[in-house]
Structure 1
């Protein structure tokens, strides 16, 4: 497998985002707050709306022209202006090759360009590989958790990374 390249998506790339998002939901349903059944029902207008710049950033990773990962970043209400990394997924064939780090750093780069200083993400309890990746990238676990939206028996734990000095 060759080196990965990361590319930010534009609103015109809605089909690319839709396709990789559906593959991700099928591969790792426990990792997401949504479901494959729900998102298969989205129409073109819904996907296009999700891609608008005011809804944050979406990036894909490509290896030899094939999409092997996706991540998004947005600023949810009620989180004090922190950017949240979400929809993070790497194709099993590309795991362990640095693709996840490239995707997260693309979202972090976007956050920095927008002037944000705090990046957050949620890790499902038991997803130790993801937690190790995020720790290597400078995220620290904090004592905040919430029930998983699709399985209240599971918990998601918050990890945070600060960027630069707060002014």
Structure 2
């Protein structure tokens, strides 16, 4: 595979983010709390506002979008912790390092924002996702919540995994 580049999206690149997000929702609907049908109908103002709420990072190979991730505020009132969410990689680019590059770029973005930790909510029964997050340096916490994806399952939960971004190796409350 060619070189993977990850870049921050500016508000005026809302159409690129919209395309990546809709592709993610179409290809992996079970992985997101939103639906393709809902998001397909949103207007330009919605997408620009969304880009302003959290930092969106786009992975590209030879100018083609191969992945996307978002970095935002983890919890109201806790400015120390950023949250990684909306991670998606195109099927043909999975296993090539794209997801890892997106996570590294997200961690760099969180550091730039002055955050001490990066949180990532992972399905507790999703061994592959837990292993991936662990391989990136995230460690599980005691924080759990009901699964927030569109998979129709009521009993599943998510575990907060946390990546320390500097000297503070402790686990923040989430």
> TM-score scaled by structure 2?
0.88
Equivalent in the alignment of 2:6: 6
Task: Indicate the larger mover: 92-101 or 157-166.
Answer: 157-166
Task: Indicate the larger mover: 145-154 or 83-92.
Answer: 145-154
Q: CA deviation at 1:29?
A: 1.5
> TM-score scaled by structure 1?
0.91
Aligned match for 1:153, one of 155, 163, 173: 155
What is the correspondence of 1:1-167 to structure 2 with a 5 Å cutoff? 1-52=1-52, 55-78=53-76, 80-81=78-79, 82-149=81-148, 150=150, 151=152, 152-166=154-168
- Structure 1 gap ranges (5+): none
Q: CA deviation at 1:156?
A: 1.5
Q: Distance in 2 between matches of 1:106 and 1:60?
A: 10
Q: Distance in 2 between matches of 1:28 and 1:156?
A: 17
CA deviation profile, 1:56-79 (whole Å, cap 9, x unmatched): 211111111110000000004337
Task: Indicate the larger mover: 132-141 or 66-75.
Answer: 132-141
Q: CA deviation at 1:100?
A: 0.3
Task: Indicate the larger mover: 149-158 or 69-78.
Answer: 149-158
Q: CA deviation at 1:11?
A: 0.4
- Structure 2 gap ranges (5+): 169-174
Q: CA deviation at 1:116?
A: 0.4
Cα root mean square deviation, aligned: 1.5
Q: CA deviation at 1:43?
A: 1.0
* 1:33 alignment partner, SS class: coil
Equivalent in the alignment of 2:171: none
Q: Distance in 1 between matches of 2:77 and 2:88?
A: 23
